[in-house]
Amino acid sequence: MAESGWAGEMKATYREALNQALREEMRRDDRVFLIGEDVAYYQGAFKISKGFLEEFGSRRVVDTPITELGFTGLAIGAAMAGLRPVVEVMTFNFAILAMDQIVNNAAKIRYMSGGQLSVPIVIRGPGSAAHQLAAQHSQSLEAWFCHVPGLKVVAPATPHDAKGLIKSAIRDENPVIFIEAQLLYPMQGEIGDGDYTIPLGVAEVKRPGTDVTLIAYSKMLLVALEAAEKLAQEGIQAEVVDPRTLRPLDLTTLAASAKKTGKVVVVEEGWPFAGLGAQIAESLYRQVFDYLDGPIVRVTGRDAPMPYARDLEDAAIPDADQVVAAAHQVLYRT
């Protein structure tokens, strides 16, 4: 479990951070319950809900059949009636089955009812690719959710952020799509002690710098940090900014960095056309056009369904070298 360092300093994995946070929220508020496939007896497909059935019982940790539309819609109805469901989708690929419920119901019920009803639901699970899970299990769909007014979308990259943000998401009165990553679950990091929240809609400069801005979220944040290390060896100080919340986007923080350096690279794992990076770029162009030293460069996944073969998959997902090359491009150092 999490180890305690010097007073207040704790290390935990992303998975442990979520487990801790969900546990604390469920203890704090009886309205919060967890629902999804294999969350109870199996202890969670990715062990996020380990120990929950024992502590909270089957009333609050609810195993479902493999019917995403049905149980997501049910959870939305439960939220309308006053509970605070946390829906675990085993991966966000499966959430596609529930898109009608998420988009036509969760996102819109407050608006259509003129403010009479609300849907304080969190839909969480891993998005993005893992290893060789192939085309139907490796998608990064945050752009789809970010497109919909009425939804909030969060994608934390670190255990510290995951803990603070899931708490805020659960306490938020709006539907929140909370995108984790299978490959992030075992990553260790410092987390805050006890009950702390990180507000939604606030980005964080993960690594200050002066020469180029790298914007990246979720798994790609780690890739960007790795690229920043490589760039530092060449004497290039990259500033790495993690949006953390994708909708609403903290344009103020992103724009301040872009204005400072004038050179921007946006990294995302998803497909290139109409990906979230295109929106981030457009938002920055509108805000700080006069301070850009050149076009914003995007590093994205390749424009194809995720192939199975290992080498093809590796080539389809951005890595640090690609981000370094993009930084060189934006710095006119090719």
**Which residues are near another protein by CB under 8 A?**
5-10, 33, 59, 64-65, 67, 69-83, 100-101, 104-105, 109-118, 120, 149-150, 152, 172-174, 190, 192-193, 205, 208, 262, 289-294, 332
Min dist CB 75 to another protein, Å, is 6
In the complex, the smallest distance separating the C-beta of residue 7 from another protein, rounded to whole angstroms, is 5
Q: Which is nearer to another protein, 133 or 205 (CB)?
A: 205
Query: Which CB atom, from 311 or from 334, has the smaller least distance to another protein?
Result: 334
List the catalytic residue out of 137, 147, 226, 328.
Answer: 137
Active site residue 269: no
Residue 193 or 321 with smaller CB distance to another protein: 193
Respond yes or no: is residue 68 known to be catalytic.
Answer: yes
Nearer Cβ to another protein (33/271): 33
Compute the least distance from the CB of residue 131 to another protein, in Å.
31
CB of 119 to another protein, least distance (A): 9
Q: Identify the active-site residue in 16, 25, 37, 68.
A: 68
Rounded distance between C-alpha atoms, residue 222 and residue 179, angstroms: 16
The residues annotated as belonging to the active site are 68, 137
